[in-house]
Structure formats: C-alpha cells, structure tokens
Amino acid sequence: MPKTAVTLPREATRAKNPVPAAGWSGRTLAVRHPGRIGYEPALELQATLVERRRRGAIPDTLLLLEHPHVITLGSSGRAGHVLLAADELARRGIALHHAGRGGDVTYHGPGQLVGYPILDLKPNRRDLHLYLRALEAVLIRTLAAFGLAGERDPSATGVWVGGAKVAAIGIRVSSGWITSHGFALNADTDLSYFDAIVPCGLPGRPVTSISRLLGRRVTPEAAAPALVSAMAAEFGYGSVDDPGGANSK
C-alpha cells in the first residue's frame, strides 16, 4: 500500500495534538473468527460492528477471517493495476470489488489471514499514522513468533521480509474515530494470484508468505494465536475474549 493507505474521518483535522498512545489495560479485545467469508458480507459485518462500537454496545473487536479469491481497489486504486481482463478474472474465479479503505489494489484469498480491527481510537490514539505504525508492529511481532524478522519500508505501508512484502495494510477510520478494514498477512497463500495485479501499486516488488519463508506450511489458523497475542501486547489490552483461539484469559 502507498503511504496514504488510510481513509480519514471528517473530524481528523480537529485532532492536531493527539494524546500520545498508551496501553488500554482497562479494555477487553473481543476476537471473532467468521471463517471463510465473501468480501461483500464481510463489509456488511464490519459496518454493523462499527455502528455497535460507536454506540458502545460492543468492546473493541478483531475479526480474523479468510476471503475467497478477490481483488479490491482502495481509494487511490488505479484500474490499470489490475492486469487481467474481466473475462479472465471470471475464468480464474477472482471477484473484483471497490473497497472503502485507503490504498491501491490488493488481493485476498484462501491461505491469507485477514484482520479487521473495529477499534475506538478515542481518547488517546487519535493519530492515524501512529495507528498504521501500530498495526505494522503487530504484524512484526507476529512474524517474530515464527522466527522471522519483519521490517518496515519507509516508502510504503506494510511489512516486509528480505525485501518481499508479506503483509499489506489498508484502513478506514470513520466518524467517532472507529476503525475498520485492516491488514492481510500471507500465511499459506497461493502467491501466483498476485500476478493478476500490481500489488499495492508497487511495480517490481515481490510478495512472499510465512510458508514460503519457512519452507513449511503455516495456515491462517496456525498464525492466528500469535497475531492475537501480538495485538493484545501492542495495544496493551487488559484481557482478551477469544473463544475461537488459544488466547482467552
């Protein structure tokens, strides 16, 4: 994703001096695992959760899921970064959607762990660039659990290992400072599908996966517990409600 992989809330310009980010020891992170779900139903689910979080009806929530093959275009997406014609996309079973997130074009599919955090950034994390950096830190922590050294690239949002992109980030922050969309970590992804796009609008940059880097299969299910632990640690949650994982406490 490019540096501007973010959709700003309308009131963002009023938060010129946000309080420095601090741990959320008084909060619980609720983790939900919908399984493999289509892109449009996932958008609808996010919209429902965003509204409920805005009303305080639910705690901060992290959706961890997989999508069927789909290419999504963010707010800065260029149609020319989709390299296959519509009939070829259909032949390969790849859907195409415009997404309400920041960033350019990306691919989602089986074997990829997609995370959609529905968080209230108030009162002390109303800084969108710091939020992006925090998500990068979550992914770097996750990779470290597998012995991999994830890195940032100062020219592009996301996480890289050895110069190849292993995780993409594209977020939305709506009124009330409630987040949606999020990140995609290539766990056991069929990387050949990335040939259908210019990933994140960055030509000539390779992509990789945890499985390729380790030379053994690491499924999204296997990566999820490390990611939940990383999310709890990076944001400082006091507790985690994760009935679908090994991180309940």
CA distance 36 to 97: 17
Non-local (6+) Cβ contacts of 50 within 8 A are 118, 174, 178, 180
Residue 169 among the catalytic residues:
no
Compute CA distances 10 → 2, 115, 173, 231, whole Å.
21, 24, 9, 27
Listed residue (96, 93, 126, 127) closest to 110, CA to CA: 93
Q: Which residues pair with 178 in a beta bridge?
A: 120, 174
Question: Residue 64 is encoded by which pair of tokens?
Answer: 């961890």
> Which of these is catalytic: 43, 62, 105, 200?
200
Non-local (6+) Cβ contacts of 199 within 8 A are 105, 106, 107, 165, 168, 205, 207
Task: Tell me the Cα Rg of the chain.
Answer: 17
CA distance 226 to 234: 12
161: left (phi over 0), alpha (psi -120 to 50) or beta: beta
Tell me, rounded to whole angstroms, the distance of Cα 53 from its chain centroid.
18
Active site residues: 200
